[in-house]
Homo-oligomer: A and B are copies of this chain.
Amino acid sequence: MQDNLYYLPLIVGPVALLVALFFYFRVKAQPDGNETMNRIGNYVREGSMAFLSREYKVLSVYSLVVMALLFYGLGWVAAVCFFAGAFLSLLAGFCGMKAATFANVRTAQAAREGSKPNALLIALDGGAVMGLAVAGLGLIGIAALYLIFKDGDQKSTVLHSFAVGASSIALFARIGGGIYTKAADVGADIAGKVIENIPEDDPRNPGVIADNVGDNVGDVAGMGADIYESMVAAIVSAMAIALTIPAAGLAGLAVGDDSSEEKARWLAIMLPLLLSTIGLAISLVVIFIARLMKNGNPASVLRNSLLIAPVLLTVASFVVMPLLGASQAVTIALAAGAFGGGIIGLVTEYYTASTPIRKIAEACTTGAGTGVIRGLAVGMESIVIPMAVVALAAGISNHFLGLYGIAIAAVGMLGGTAVVMTVDAYGPIADNAGGISEMSGLGKEVRDITDELDAVGNTTAAIGKGFAIGSAILTVLALFSAYNMEINHVRELAGKGTIVLELTDARVLIGLIIGSILPFIVGASTMTAVGRAAGSIVQEIGRQFREIPGLLEGKAEPQPHRIVDISTIAALKEMIFPGTVAIFAPIVVGFLLGPAALAGTLAGSLAVGATLSLFMANAGGAWDNGKKYIEKGKLEGHKKGSDAHKAAVVGDTVGDPFKDTSGPGISILIKVMGVVSLLIAPLIALF
């Protein structure tokens, strides 16, 4: 059959990387401002890269251990593919972070020159480097490995191992980055207010640089690894289902002249790669359109970019499917996911930017307690529609294409990965540009431009996060199905007869209870980790003000490196426990209690993890914007510094680890568990 279609990702992928390279050099070639700006920019870049290189060292040790285990348990192919999945994630993170930390100071400079369109363009290009690297490298990796191994009998192992590599890095990058960014943020804030009473972003505060580093570490590197992993897991779960599903599960997929099972299975395996390739091509187009619109309103440029991708993807699929002899059911499943993602994004935007934040601000007038209560209620309410949309997308795609359809819906939701990631990485660049302007003492006009760009970033970040978590849930549903099929596929090959993973099986029920615990373990440990790390930072800042003569008067330089060091070490230390739980929980349950208990565990952690992470992410975003609502003077009679504002700051503080550490940490937990379970399925299937 048309196996040359497998080469398509290997053409579009490298093109995307070339474009990323072009953006990278374009950004680097922009003017980088005065000496102060450069010094601060360098601090931030060095801090970010220092964190990354230390983190990579830790991850190298981890990877070597896992590779040894994989080599022992599943052979060298698994070890190599695991390495590839992990390495490409690190590579994408490295390039994206470099670009972002060049772009931030240059965005500030463009704003200093008074050109908002140029500033927007630089921030966008900087983000696009990450976006294209993530999508391009992920696609190239899966396609190349599958092409190499597709005629052997290790196909499944190749895919699963690659996904586990991607997941492992995402797990640690997300949790470590999340702890870093919020420890630095909270630490610098508390120290500034409590110890020395100096304003936010003041250059005397040695924690401010770490705070800016944190934005890159968390929202660029961490988010990038997370989205890379989601895309990989979605493609892999769809291909895994395609490889193991009984023939009846693919009925109706192939239409026209050749509707044989062989054709259907070939289509099923190839489509996830092809659709993702189309998605990447469309993303390239969307990014260039966005660049052309640079003179428009930044908010609508970014927002429309996110929402146009699903439309183009659906149209493209509608055109291509008949050419392949594939049913339009694929297009329907794909569209269910792609539009579902868009709706989830818009709902997330509503809950973190509209009426609900006004209600939070109003609740703050009767105290911090009522403000926190209202934020928690908003967060809880905010999960309802997104989860219902996921259920609906799953229901539609399943109706037309069975379980395989659910996986295709996940691929569809992640079709615009490059655009989503571009917009996500844009956020911290604009945010950093503002911080650098402030610290360098640039004027109000400059801040006005960076503030506008930053504000846009906050809203689009919410949409992006909605996409990310929504796709994670759909992906985990697909991974879960893939796991269940793999178990029975292996049993059949071994002549052991299939087992039914029944809800009436006590092992499944016990697994369900165990699974429901895990997200809370990750939530609790990441919340306390942020508190502990922030405490060490507060102490070090206090020490510097005590021991460096002239620092408080602005006559001496602070030592930001020390804070960056402390944050880095604390984040890397604190990420070990939750990370280990995520990876070993499925292994322990699987080998100790068997495949049925593990299936229950996955179901329990999916139900709890999906809702809890959405709740935490959205509550955090809502509190943050509730505070900003008051700061902008929108709540009559209560301005910045009022009691209501102080109450809102309490909500914001609670929301910090909610939205940037625990929420994302729990969402990655459920993905990692799904991927690891899929990998070990062959080893425990005969339990």
Contact = CB atoms under 8 A, between A and B. Distances in A.
A367 B607 contact: no
A481 interface: yes
B509 A503 contact: no
How often does this chain occur in the complex, in copies? Answer: 2
A480 interface: yes
Contact of A377 (B380, B509, B517, B531): B531
Interface string A360-400: 00010011111011101110110110011011001100100
Contact of A516 (B481, B509, B528, B608): B608
A403 B509 CA distance: 10
Category for how many chain A residues contact B: 35 or more
A183 B650 CA distance: 22
A544 interface: no
Contacts of A500: 500, 502
Contacts of A472: none
B510 A394 contact: yes
Interface string A480-496: 11001100000000000
B513 A610 contact: yes
Contact of A502 (B378, B501, B509, B510): B501
A480 B512 CA distance: 12
Interface string A494-524: 0000001111101011101111110111011
B383 A520 contact: yes
A166 interface: no
Contacts of A290: none
A523 B383 CA distance: 12
A91 interface: no
A406 interface: yes
Interface string A599-640: 110011011101110010000000000000000000000000
Nearest to A381: B524
A611 B521 CA distance: 11
Given A500-B500, A506-B398, A611-B608, A517 B383 contact: yes
A477 B509 CA distance: 7
A402 interface: yes
A190 interface: yes
Contacts of A538: 366
Given A485-B504, A603-B512, A654-B369, A531 B610 contact: no
A58 to B, nearest CB: 24
Given A502-B500, A503-B603, A363 B531 contact: yes
Contacts of A685: none
A531 B373 contact: yes
Interface of A: 186, 190, 194, 363, 366-370, 372-374, 376-378, 380-381, 383-384, 387-388, 390-391, 394-395, 398, 402-403, 406, 473, 477, 480-481, 484-485, 500-504, 506, 508-510, 512-517, 519-521, 523-525, 527-528, 530-531, 538, 599-600, 603-604, 606-608, 610-612, 615, 649-654, 657
Given A391-B510, A500-B500, A513-B607, 14 more contacts: A190-B367, A366-B538, A377-B528, A378-B524, A388-B517, A391-B514, A402-B506, A481-B509, A501-B504, A502-B503, A512-B603, A512-B606, A516-B608, A650-B650
